Structure 1
Amino acid sequence: MRVLPPAEREAMYAIYAFCREVDDIADDQAGERADRAVALDQWRADIADLYDGGSGGKAAYLSEAVRRFGCLQVDFNAVIDGMAMDVARDIRWPQHRELDLYCDRVASAVGRLSVRVFGMEEQPGLALSHHLGRALQLTNILRDIDEDAAIGRVYLPREAIETAGIRVGDIAKVIDDPRIDQVAQGLAAEARVHFAQAQAILDRRPRGHLIAPRLMAGAYAMLLRRMVAKGWTPPRSRVGHNKLRLAWLLLRLKLSR
């Protein structure tokens, strides 16, 4: 976000703050589900108030992003709906269509808000949001298998788990099965397709401040490649971003603008 011009940067900071707040509600393991659902409903109400011309309550800090860049209410609500999926129940081995819906809400919807700030035209902006959002979220899921399992969640798709011959039920037994690598490799292949589609859009150099999505695409594609090379056979260790490589990537992107 720091590579963006001031107005766009502040708008993205506001959108990011919103995402963090609703994500914290979804991930609050100490809070009761009913209370967390009420907290998300309050965010929906505040967003609605903002778009109806009111103060916006907790959402007031989003007013400039909405006014200046035309961010849509439906996309803010989609992010909340995604967090509500985690509040309603701990997601475990969802059907692929549910996983795709989850990715659209918690990641691609954020992309749809972001591309308006980046100044992209509608068609390439929506396409980039669709593919890059899913690529990033699938990469996060693959990186966080053990961390998610520790709080009772497994986002890997049921169809792939069952095709690998793993019986769903006990979380530890599922993620500790050596065949989970087959499941993860399949999801990684899906993420690579989305990365390729996103890169094809960026390569056409559409209008907009695109160094931020280029950096995200490059950084997370790099992370995915490292995970694929390492594999997901237990025991796993979490793969993180290489800061030196990220700095070099940012430098290259700045020089190629």
Structure 2
Amino acid sequence: MAGPRLPPEAIAASRAAIAAGSKSFALAARLFDPDTRDRATLLYHWCRHCDDVIDGQHLGQGRVASADSPAERLAMLRDATDRALAGDGGSEPAFRALAALNAVCPLPRRYAHDLLDGFAMDVAETAYQTEAELLTYCYHVAGCVGVLMALVMGVEPSDHATLARASDLGLSFQLNNIARDVMEDAANGRRYLPADWLREAGIPVGDFAEPAHRARLAKVVARLVALAEVYEESADWGVAALDFRSAWAVLSAARIYGDIGRKVRRRGMAALSERVVTSPQRKLRSVAGSLPQALARRSRWAAPSPERVGLWTPDFA
């Protein structure tokens, strides 16, 4: 992309953040060409920092003391984000990263604020009643990140068809994360499973995590994984618009995160007792298996792509 070069200090700080914060993302990012990798790393740094500030954590681990309320921290993030997008990154490395990224790859403000709106939903401890409400949340914490990442990869802001596929990928990631973390979230007082799904399964919403409901809860979680696969399959149709290395990175990430959900489903009730993880070897197999798909992307997912009938779609108006 044309424009000024990214500052080395911003790249270095962001690389450190990604190395400590997400091994899966770091692995997939290595497949990008160097310029795209740097832009994606800067974006990740800002996303990771905002998430940590809201959760009161550092790189997703440990608690960080703060005198500010979550609502106050959210207001600070909105202000700092707007200033960074206006060219003033301040002294915080994550916002300096966002400002540097925006200088070479202008990002529509709306998508950055969509992510912050997702954090606001967590601050409000929103309880989701329907599948549509859950998907709206998933867009705001992950789907919009997929859109931003597509822009970083060179997709035009006007290419809504490809951006919708990028949102689909983010939704699939988040649905799989929720499937993996059902019990951990419950221990923290959070429920992301739609209340109407639980009622359909005969599970009392108020105590859905109790041991007596584990067999039925495992079936609800399997339903969530199946929904994630619908969005993963839809997202695949977007890779034909990407260059080879970006497509390889996207497909690898899709398979790595998809494998999390599929392992949760295979383990059934056992996955509700012990957090599911995927091994480095399995991740590398996902990367290797995605290579021929990336090479054949424009024939395998040739235009015209199927309609996204019934899928959650961002409002691009």
TM > 0.5: yes
Residue type of the alignment partner of 2:185:
D
Q: What per-residue deviation string (whole Å, max 9, x for no partner) do you get for residues 74-131 of structure 1? A: 1111111111111122x44543232111100110111111001112342343122221
8 Å contact from structure 1 (residues 49, 55) kept in 2: yes
| Aligned mate of 1:115, from 150, 168, 173 | 150
Matched, 1:85 2:121: yes
Q: Secondary structure at the match of 1:241?
A: coil
Distance of 2:91 and 2:64 partners within structure 1:
25
**Unmatched segments (≥5 aa) in structure 1:** none
Stretch of structure 1 that moved more, 101-110 or 17-26:
17-26
Residue type of the alignment partner of 2:34:
P
Map of 2:219 onto structure 1: 182
Map of 1:236 onto structure 2: 273
Map of 1:212 onto structure 2: 249
Distance of 1:95 and 1:242 partners within structure 2:
33
With normalisation by structure 1, the TM-score equals 0.87
Q: Secondary structure at the match of 1:210?
A: helix
Map of 1:96 onto structure 2: 131
Distance of 2:272 and 2:264 partners within structure 1:
13
Q: Secondary structure at the match of 1:245?
A: helix
With normalisation by structure 2, the TM-score equals 0.72
8 Å contact from structure 2 (residues 88, 99) kept in 1: no
Residue type of the alignment partner of 1:11:
R
Stretch of structure 1 that moved more, 235-244 or 68-77:
235-244
Distance of 2:186 and 2:180 partners within structure 1:
12
- Indicate how the Cα distance of structure 1 residues 76 and 232 shifts in structure 2: closer, same or farther if over 3 A, else same: farther
- Indicate how the Cα distance of structure 1 residues 198 and 48 shifts in structure 2: closer, same or farther if over 3 A, else same: same
Distance of 1:160 and 1:134 partners within structure 2:
18
**Unmatched segments (≥5 aa) in structure 2:** 1-28, 57-62, 296-317
Distance of 1:176 and 1:99 partners within structure 2:
21
| Aligned mate of 1:76, from 103, 107, 112 | 112
Alignment of 1:1-257 (within 5 A): 1-28=29-56, 35-56=69-90, 58=92, 59-89=95-125, 91-121=126-156, 122-170=159-207, 172-173=209-210, 176-202=213-239, 205-208=240-243, 209-232=246-269, 236-254=273-291, 257=295
- Indicate how the Cα distance of structure 1 residues 174 and 16 shifts in structure 2: closer, same or farther if over 3 A, else same: farther
Q: Secondary structure at the match of 1:223?
A: helix
Q: What per-residue deviation string (whole Å, max 9, x for no partner) do you get for residues 127-150 of structure 1? A: 222211111100000011111112
Distance of 1:104 and 1:142 partners within structure 2:
16
CA RMSD of aligned residues (A): 2.5
- Indicate how the Cα distance of structure 1 residues 55 and 26 shifts in structure 2: closer, same or farther if over 3 A, else same: closer
Q: Secondary structure at the match of 1:237?
A: coil
8 Å contact from structure 1 (residues 188, 224) kept in 2: yes
8 Å contact from structure 2 (residues 87, 99) kept in 1: no
Residue type of the alignment partner of 2:217:
I
Residue type of the alignment partner of 1:95:
T
1:186 Cα offset (Å): 1.7
8 Å contact from structure 2 (residues 107, 148) kept in 1: yes
Among the aligned pairs, what percent are the same residue?
Answer: 30
1:43 Cα offset (Å): 1.3
8 Å contact from structure 2 (residues 118, 141) kept in 1: yes
